[in-house]
Structure 1
Amino acid sequence: MSDTKQSKNLARTMRTPSVTALGVGAMIGAGIFVLTGMAAGKAGPALILAFALNGVIALIVGACYAELATMMPEAGGAYVWAKPGLGPFFGFFAGWMSAFAQLIACSLYAAAFGSFTRQLVIELTAHRPPAFFATAMSVGVLALLLWINYRGSEHTGKLEVWITGLKVAILLIVVALGLSVLFQSNDRLSAFRPFFSQGLGGLMSAMGITFVAFEGYEIIVQSGEEVKKPGSTIPRAIFLSILVAMSLYILVAVVLLGAVTPPHGKTVAAYLGGLQELGLMEAAGQFVPRGKIILLIAGLASTASALNATIYGSSRIAYAMGRAGDLPSALARVHRTRKTPHLAIAAVGSLMVAMTLALPIEDIAASTNIMFLLVFLMVCTTVVRLRKHWPDRERPFRVPLSPWLPGVGITAGIVLSLWLVQVSRVAWAVAVVWIVLGGAVFYLKDRR
């Protein structure tokens, strides 16, 4: 029997630290390093509230994920749960959209990694590499992390713990230095007035574009077949990772808006918005010695860990859909010795490279948010439906105040996804094309 023939089971090797690191690694990635500057330009000081509200929504949706993941701890996440909860059609689309969301999230992280690498070379050598250098770095880090994922989930988890620890430590140092500058100011609150400088629309746009920053719990539930004691480990990892990420995002937003001095004639919001994905790095250089270089290194660690975690999640969705027959069955093959879905990893990796080369960063981010929000709607609805259809099924974790809390998650998802039309029409166009393509795949599969 060859090493690449199908095996029945993935290996249960991951514990709470590794699984939590997957979630934190995915959350404290592109959102804090790539999107913070963009979102500050849209919301101004209200960015702090945008992160807080997104964190609350994430806790609600994360609770829905925790209930379903402990009831059905399998690779595939929303795809596996929506089938019995909403039927085969919506079940297929939950997997189809979740896989695509994670694919384009990986493209976002890879593109950011390339941009940061090029900027770091400029800072260290005063030499400006050609634009294709960033693209080459993006593809290179994708190839490296695909290989690590192929080697096994235990290696993926250990790498995530180390990289996540590094970037969190750097961010805490930046926050401490920024707060010291802020507290030395005679008028600490002036930087935050007017709070809603860009209006309610700015707040909503910032929430919409940064919601992807809190999707790490989607990655956690993909570990259902590879984690020890999923009934307790998965809920614990979900809530720990959301709370860590939410706290860091709010602290970084406070420091970024309060400790940075913009060029004469510009507001902090306009300054940060103009810097785009390099906003945090450029601004932190004002109050952290060699801050830009330090933050670029942290950004590299951050985007690499988010990319590593999201490769893991997207390959498990492809594996689950192949196992169920909704995608080619070859994707369900598990390497005999590595115990990883090697063909699923190769397939999603190829698509990630293509998308990294095709889409600009802001449109990638908005497309990712739209797809995740639609998946979150289905997950929250599935919790309510399965409470009625399977009332006696064992649930190691239960969402409190159901159906009201899932209803809040559904409402928030609808409002934010519709608002993203204002941010990027290209993103909605990409989402619609992917949904139509999914409908065609489902129809052809059903006929066959």
Structure 2
Amino acid sequence: WIIGWDLILEYAIGNVAVAISWANYFRSFIHDAFGKDIPAWLATDFRTARKIPGLLESAPHIFGIPIVFNLLAFGIVAFLTVVLVWGIKESAEFNAVMVAIKIVVLLFFIGVAIYFVPPSGMVQNWHPFQPTGWGGTLAGAAVVFFAYIGFDAVSTVAEETKNPARDLPVGIIASLVICTIFYVVVAAVFTGLIPYNELVRRLSTEQAEPLTMALNHVAPNATWASAIVAFGSVVAHTAVLLVFQLGQPRIFFSMARDGLLPPVFAKVHPKFKTPHVTTILTGVVVGGFSAVMSIDEMVDLTNIGTLFAFVLVCVGITILRYKEPNRARPFKVPLGAWLLPMLGAISCLFLIYYLPPASWWRFVAWLLIGLSVYLSYGYAKSILGQKVGRPHVTPGWLFLLGIGSLLVAIGILAVPHHASLSELFAEVSGGNGRTTLAVGSIALGLLLGIVGSIMGMTKR
């Protein structure tokens, strides 16, 4: 359950970030290729709009409230949702073409960048090499981790490979090595194109994707170059959106089939033979969030959820090595008894530490919402649980625990994440309505949790 609930962050919330990035690249492509500007208030969220001078003032107002809505991100998600309900199949050929486009775009960016700014010129922009020290570097690594999400999806094609024991490890490790080389080269070229202070200034006051922004900075008249990069990125992002929107309904479908979610999540369309309910639900969630959320928040939340899942996987390897030593293992992780898995878990926790505290709170709230669903429904309805004698109806004390978990989650999401404990009490005593309701929700949830726990212990 925890891994399945966590994967929703990787696929659905991660896809929100991809949709927002798609919107930015699409807007850049239209501007560079055709000289037309899509209104910024139709391609951004409210929090980002507040950072861009003049954007809120230029947006239409209703009753004095500026209308800011990322219609581009919402539109591409809605379009792909309709396509997936209608029915589409993944193919190795399609994925190969998309990967080829991505590689060509990155190579083109590197080539054009070196043409306009030779390596000797880039070196000047690399000083100081760590403007904010190791703390900034590690915080950046925690964010850049988003680029590595999805490599684990290689394991889903195990049944289609001739020799999974050999091909899967080679495929995963080789793809990681090759992509890391690409990422390092692109990052080196990108940071060599634009000074750090100028990069910070432009990212804080503009809404643009970094690659096209860097090309426009060094070659403002070569719009053809940034147009090609933007177009290739739009195509590549569309492929990522399609694959992730295809994958998330399968997670819902599998969880419903195992009894962890209601049967409606496992319904298949009678005509199109697609999981239309979960596909539409995924589209509504991803489209809705992509229309109003900022990309930074979504990337951080996706990263912390995926890193936590990797921690569980690493710890699970060690546990299985000791609990099931005779289990068939076509591929064994080197030093997998404890050293390599523990290093993996520690490194993931280390990166989590450098993510913003607000992301931690949101992640805790997400886990509590998942716990609420599991306790109030999945615990009793789980097919595996029923095999070991669990009741078919959720006991009252478990239901109380589930409601309590949900109330605590709502309170955590509503409370100001920047405030200390003393500041929270000061806001409550000062009559701040939002903070008072949030703290009250947490207190009531904890009370219900305590009551439910006591009831559970007495029944046992």
SS at match of 1:290: helix
Taking the TM superposition and a 5 Å limit, the aligned residue runs for 1:209-288 are: 209-224=143-158, 230-258=164-192, 260-262=193-195, 267=197, 269-271=199-201, 273-274=203-204, 277-285=208-216, 286=218
Aligned position for 1:431: 363
Cα distance in 2, alignment partners of residues 151 and 161 from structure 1 = 23
Partner Cα distance (1:184, 1:225) in 2:
46
Partners of 1:351 and 1:289 in 2: CA distance? 35
Matched residue type, 2:197? T
Give me the whole-angstrom Cα distance separating, in 1, the residues matched to 2:171 and 2:248. 19
**Who is 1:103 aligned against?**
12
The offset of 1:397, in angstroms, is 1.8
* Cα distance between partner residues in 2 of 1:393 and 1:148: 42
The whole-number CA distance in structure 1 between the counterparts of 2:286 and 2:244 is 11
1:124, distance to aligned residue in structure 2 (A): 3.5
Gaps of 5+ in 2: 44-69, 381-393, 395-460
Secondary structure of 2:213's counterpart equals helix
Q: Residues of 1 paired with 2:330 and 2:273: CA distance?
A: 27
Amino acid at match of 1:439: L
**1:407 and 1:353, CA in 2 relative to 1: closer, same or farther beyond 3 A?**
same
In the alignment, structure 1 segments of 5+ residues that lack a partner are 1-91
Q: Shift in Å at residue 331 of structure 1?
A: 2.6
Distance 2:246 2:348 in 1: 25
Q: 1:188: how far off?
A: 5.5
**Aligned mate of 2:226, from 292, 301, 318:** 292
Could you tell me how far 1:439 is from its partner in structure 2? Answer: 1.2
Q: Does 1:142 align with 2:77?
A: yes
Question: Which residue of structure 1 lines up, in the alignment, with residue 354 of structure 2?
Answer: 419
Question: Does residue 116 of structure 1 match 2:25?
Answer: yes
Q: Contact conserved, 1:149 with 1:156, CA < 8 A, in 2?
A: no
Give 1:379 deviation, angstroms.
Answer: 0.9
TM-score by length of 2: 0.68
Shift in Å, 1:107: 0.6
Question: For 1:95-131, what per-residue CA distance to the aligned partner results, in whole angstroms no more than 9, with x for missing partners?
Answer: 1011133211111111111222223223334433234
Q: Percent identity?
A: 25
- Aligned counterparts, 1:40-439, within 5 A: 92-131=1-40, 133-134=42-43, 135-150=70-85, 154-155=89-90, 157-180=92-115, 183=118, 185=120, 189-224=123-158, 230-258=164-192, 260-262=193-195, 267=197, 269-271=199-201, 273-274=203-204, 277-285=208-216, 286=218, 290-333=224-267, 340-402=274-336, 403-421=338-356, 425=358, 427-439=359-371
- 2: CA distance, partners of 1:318 / 1:204: 34
Change (3 A) 1:132 1:101: same
| Alignment-mate amino acid for residue 22 of structure 2 | F
* Alpha-carbon distance, 1:230 to partner: 4.3
Please state how far the C-alpha of 1:149 moved relative to its aligned partner.
4.2
Kept in 2, the 8 Å contact 1:164–1:305? The answer is no
Counterpart secondary structure, 1:267:
helix
The answer to whether the Cα contact below 8 Å between 1:108 and 1:361 also exists between their aligned partners in 2 is yes
Rate the CA distance shift 1:298–1:270 in 2: closer, same or farther, 3 A: same
Query: Please, what is the CA RMSD of the aligned residues?
Result: 2.8
TM-score (normalizing by structure 1) = 0.70
